[in-house]
Amino acid sequence: MKKGEELELAVEKLAFGGKALGRVEGFVVFLEHALPGQVVRARITRRKRQFAEGKVLEVVRQSPHFVEPFCMHFGTCGGCKWQDMDYQGQVQWKEKQVRECLAHLAGADQVPVDPVVPSGHETYYRNKMEYTFSDRRWLLPSEIAREDVTHDRSFALGLHVPGFFDRVFNVEECHLQSPRSVEILRETREWCHRSGLAPYSVKTHHGFWRFLVIREGKRTDQTLLNIITAPHRENNEAVELLAHHLSASFPWISTIVHSMTGKKAQVAFGETSRILRGPGFIEEQLGDLRFRISAHSFFQTNPYAAEKLYDTVLEMAELSGGECVWDLYCGTGSIALYVARQAKEVLGFEVVEEAVQDAFVNAEINGIHNCRFFSGDLKDVMRATMSGLEGGGLPQVIITDPPRAGMHPTVLKAILEAAPQKVVTVSCNPSTLARDLSVLVDSYHIKRVQPFDLFPHTPHIECAVQLVRKE
| Long-range Cβ contacts of 108-116 (<8 Å, 24+ apart) | 108/434, 108/437, 108/441, 108/446, 111/446, 111/449, 112/448, 112/449, 113/449, 113/451, 114/448, 114/449, 114/450, 114/451, 115/451, 116/91, 116/451, 116/452, 116/453, 116/461
371 is catalytic: no
**Nearest by Cα to 169 from 183, 179, 155:** 155
Task: List the 128-134 sheet strands across, edge first.
Answer: 168-170, 156-160, 128-134, 209-217, 222-229, 255-260, 272-277
| Burial (0-12, 13-18, 19+ Cβ within 10 Å), 353 | exposed
**Nearest by Cα to 15 from 47, 53, 46:** 53
Q: Is the Cβ–Cβ distance between 400 and 415 less than 8 Å?
A: yes
**Nearest by Cα to 453 from 22, 121, 30:** 121
**Nearest by Cα to 331 from 353, 313, 311:** 353
Alpha-carbon distance of 130 to 128, in angstroms, equals 7
Main-chain dihedrals φ then ψ at residue 19, nearest 5 degrees? -75, 145
Task: Identify residue 133 by its one-letter amino acid code.
Answer: F
Rg (CA), the chain: 24
Dihedral over Cα of 205, 294, 242, 168: its sign: positive
Per annotation, catalytic residue among 71, 80, 324, 428: 428
**Nearest by Cα to 281 from 225, 331, 336, 329:** 225
Q: At what angle do helices 378-386 and 409-418 cross, to 10 degrees?
A: 10
Residues with a catalytic annotation lie at: 428
